[in-house]
Amino acid sequence: MTEIPGYGPRILNLVEAAEYIRVSKKTLGEMAHQGQLPCNKVGREWRFLRSALEDWLKGTGERRLARNQTGQQILRASHRPELFEKSGFRDTAFAQNKNEPVHRWTPWIAGFSSSFVQGVFDALLPKGNSRKRVLDPFAGVGTTLIEGLKCGYDIAGFEINPYAYLACKVKTGSTGISPQVLNKRIENYKAFMKESLRKNKAPKSSPPAGFKSREVFFSPKVENKVLFTLDFISGRKEEWARDIFKLALGGVMVSFSNYSYEPSLGRRSSSGKPGIADADVPNILSNKLSEFVADIGYLKSITDRNDRNADISLFNQSYLDMNGELAPRSIDILVTSPPYLNNYHYVRNTRPHLYWLDLGVDQAMMKKLETTSFGKYWQTVRSAPVIRPEFEIEGPREIIRQLRKINTDKGAYGGHGWANYATAYFNDCVKFLAKTKQVMKKGAPVVVVIGNNILQGIEIKTDVFFAQIGEQMGYKTIDIHKVRTKRTGSSIVNSSVRTASKGRAAELYESAVELRAP
């Protein structure tokens, strides 16, 4: 392969080219197939000239399609096109992250794909040498933040859930961890577990106080191994080692518990699955950590190419409570996905992680997380007095009026409860947009992935209403991109609890609402 001194090969394969221009392999493959950049197909493999990609990135040359002598399509010296069509952004499905380095560390019930975030950056952030700062107010397990780091941007994230915050903290700080040292800690863990289990002694750690589940979470044999693992973690002097082992344990613990995601956390027995009587916890966790080692090397290879260290600001708190953490007009782009109006109980889904990983929670903290999360939970507002709208948009106000008239005989479980829930959700949208207005640069893009919902048989087009609220507050709506249909959750919102008639069919979708800050 021909090398360019100081730059590597002159001809790149798909993986090398994707890494070079900082998009995912899947994204680049789609662009090559659609003739959006200079490339050639040799047999079944794409090949790229580094110099042609450089010209394409600079926007030089004339874009025209041609065919080579074998009839294969080539795109010669092109201008740089948009990375997605005007009709919408890329698919947001978080499932795509399951095989992506770093993103695959933590299963998450809701989120968006790394390729979606990269596409937004590529299309909406102006190119140049000026520093860019990316914000995710609902950071989840850090998809937006990691993609920002890979691009060399400064990043800021807010995450109220301590387990998700741990994921953000470990992932974004992982480039400061030596893969060699982590490998040594993994070997230390294996030796510790082998010795502890051989001696058949009792672990020092105990099951977390205050944690209860309808079914025993870990079987006795599994629990014993988990407790020994916690002994090892608590004995580490380095904070990074404790954190990274906790995150790895959090990533695999449900797999050897008597619970599973369907997609919400529930008993295995309820979905017809047998319980887990025993599992090789040390081997499962060590394999997960070895995955971390490989991915840290990958992330370091990318971030080391950036000409400076990125500034990382993380806050384990609600974005709606932000008060001076970010400077006014300091954010170049916001990409996020707040909780949807579908009543997923994110706190409950991570309850085992919060307790078993000793993340500082108790019943009071759990209650606070439930009542201060964006959009609230139906369970926390259904019995409250009538919640009044803090917005003037007629669409959602009319739906709230309709909800209050449905099943009035059921009290908090009827229309009153659901109307309170919808009102609280849109009130939080107002608060979110008000906070965002303070920190975004003038005209900066705000991209919010959000889904529609069905409450008591009434469809609520949350994306449209969100954009309308934004316009009322001075934002400009650029587009509402429908990025996904039949999203996860149809089994929940089509239940008799959520709809006026059991079994009612409805299409669920996700949209990326693209706004510009005032």
Kindly report the number of other CB atoms within 10 A of residue 54's CB atom.
Answer: 14
With 90 as the cut, is the pLDDT of residue 491 above it? Answer: no
Summarised one tens digit per residue, pLDDT across range 321-341 is 999 999 999 999 999 999 998
Tell me what the mean pLDDT of segment 453-481 comes to.
94
Q: Which of 206-215, 364-373, 492-501 has the highest mean pLDDT?
A: 206-215
Tell me what the mean pLDDT of segment 59-83 comes to.
34
The domain defined by 3-76 folds into: Arc Repressor Mutant, subunit A (1.10.10)
| Mean pLDDT score across all residues of the chain | 85
CA distance 73 to 296: 37
With 50 as the cut, is the pLDDT of residue 72 above it? Answer: no
With 50 as the cut, is the pLDDT of residue 12 above it? Answer: yes
With 90 as the cut, is the pLDDT of residue 235 above it? Answer: yes
Nearest to 209 by CA among 356, 365, 369: 356
**386 backbone dihedrals φ, ψ, rounded to 5°:** -55, 125
Tell me what the mean pLDDT of segment 11-15 comes to.
86
The band of 226, judged by pLDDT with boundaries at 50, 70 and 90, is very high
Summarised one tens digit per residue, pLDDT across range 378-394 is 888 999 999 999 999 99
Domain ranges of the chain: 3-76, 176-299
Chain-centre distance for alpha carbon 196: 37
Nearest to 363 by CA among 216, 208, 217: 208
3-state secondary structure (DSSP) of residue 354: helix
Distances (CA, A) of 66 to 27, 63, 78, 397, 474: 22, 10, 12, 55, 46
pLDDT at 379: 86
The band of 3, judged by pLDDT with boundaries at 50, 70 and 90, is very low
pLDDT at 343: 63
Give the helix/strand (H/E) hosting 382: none
pLDDT at 77: 28
The DSSP-derived string for 39-95 is -EEETTEEEEEHHHHHHHHHT-S--EEEE-TTS-EEEES-----SS-TT-----BGG
Tell me what the mean pLDDT of segment 227-254 comes to.
97
The band of 258, judged by pLDDT with boundaries at 50, 70 and 90, is very high
Model confidence, pTM: 0.80
CB within 8 Å of 248: residues ≥ 6 apart: 105, 285, 288, 289, 292
Kindly report the number of other CB atoms within 10 A of residue 299's CB atom.
Answer: 20
pLDDT at 505: 56
3-state secondary structure (DSSP) of residue 515: strand
pLDDT at 66: 35
pLDDT at 232: 98
3-state secondary structure (DSSP) of residue 477: strand
CA distance 136 to 155: 8
With 50 as the cut, is the pLDDT of residue 76 above it? Answer: no
Summarised one tens digit per residue, pLDDT across range 187-215 is 999 999 999 999 888 999 999 999 999 99
Which of 28-42, 58-72, 82-96, 446-460 has the lowest average pLDDT? 58-72
Summarised one tens digit per residue, pLDDT across range 390-438 is 999 999 999 999 999 999 999 889 999 999 999 999 999 999 999 999 9
For residue 263, whether the previous peptide bond is cis, meaning omega lies within 30 degrees of 0, is yes
pLDDT at 486: 65
